[in-house]
Amino acid sequence: MSTIEQNLQAVRESIAQAALEAQRAPGDVTLLAVSKTFGADAVLEAMRAGQAAFGENYLQEALDKIAAVQLALPQGGPVWHFIGPIQSNKTRPIAEHFDWVHTVEREKIAARLSEQRPAGLADLNICLQVNISGEASKSGVAPAELPALARAVAQLPRLRLRGLMAIPEPETELSRQRAAFAQLRALYEQLKSEGLALDTLSMGMSADLRAAVLEGASIVRVGSAIFGSRNYS
Ligand SMILES: *Cc1c(COP(=O)(O)O)cnc(C)c1O
């Protein structure tokens, strides 16, 4: 068995254990494999091990990888999620090449994605990134501004607002990890109680996926636990 295949099995096992602990069905948690900095060969290897969804942060790198995977698998590639910061002049290729975007934090970006989503493709799935740490330097919409943003994005054609995403401050203690995810979950429940049809909480990475699943994550975004540590040079 390859390392990626072994790692995938171990991550799936951790998700299943945490789901069991939370009395949730393991199938309710989708594993998003974050392949940033790794090549198309790593994506293809993970696909051979049954992995169906991949997350990318850097647009140009992602576009090259998507094209390479498409060439190798012309009859059906994986589901691609964009999870990196979005520059407003780079929305078109995101709208054209991805199935999901997790990092929408401004209405202007959502409006551009809506305008630029090709009519022949399914609606683009959107998660709003929320700044739950409350730091001015952090990405994401402030919780106080979230309801207005969510209502606006839910109205846009060719987008489907699915839920919320956050990247909390790194914490080593489980209880502190859980507290941050519980905040995102509360915001999500609040929006649902106001009538928005949401079904996705994108939270949890390699180091805090147990806490995220215990707090109700429906997508966990896992990179290094699957592909190994990243080399940015
Ligand atoms: C890189 C990244 C991940 C994966 O992080 P790991 O710690 O390698 O699991 C998840 N989400 C986002 C937004 C990322 O940028």
Per-residue pLDDT, 136: 74
Single pTM value for the model: 0.97
C-alpha angle 49-52-54 in degrees, rounded to nearest 5? 110
Q: Tell me how far apart the alpha carbons of residues 112 and 94 are, in angstroms, rounded to a whole number.
A: 10
Taking the centre of ligand 1 as the mean of its atom positions, its distance from the CA of residue 15, in whole angstroms, is 16
Per-residue pLDDT, 51: 98
State which of 30, 37, 38, 83 you would mutate to test the pocket of ligand 1, scoring each by most atoms of that ligand within 8 A of its C-beta.
83
Q: Residue 187 in 3-state DSSP?
A: helix
Per-residue pLDDT, 231: 86
State which of 221, 227, 229, 230 you would mutate to test the pocket of ligand 1, scoring each by most atoms of that ligand within 8 A of its C-beta.
221
C-alpha angle 108-203-192 in degrees, rounded to nearest 5? 65
First to last CA, the chain: 29
Taking the centre of ligand 1 as the mean of its atom positions, its distance from the CA of residue 88, in whole angstroms, is 22
**Would you report the helix, strand and coil content of the chain in percent, each value rounded to 5?**
45, 15, 35
Per-residue pLDDT, 221: 98
Q: Which residues line ligand 1 (CB under 6 A)?
A: 34, 36, 57, 83, 167, 205-207, 221-225
Q: What is the mean pLDDT of each run of 10 residues along the chain (233 residues)?
A: 95 98 96 98 97 98 98 94 97 98 98 97 98 85 98 98 96 97 98 98 98 98 97 77
Which domains are delineated in the chain? 3-227 (3.20.20.10)
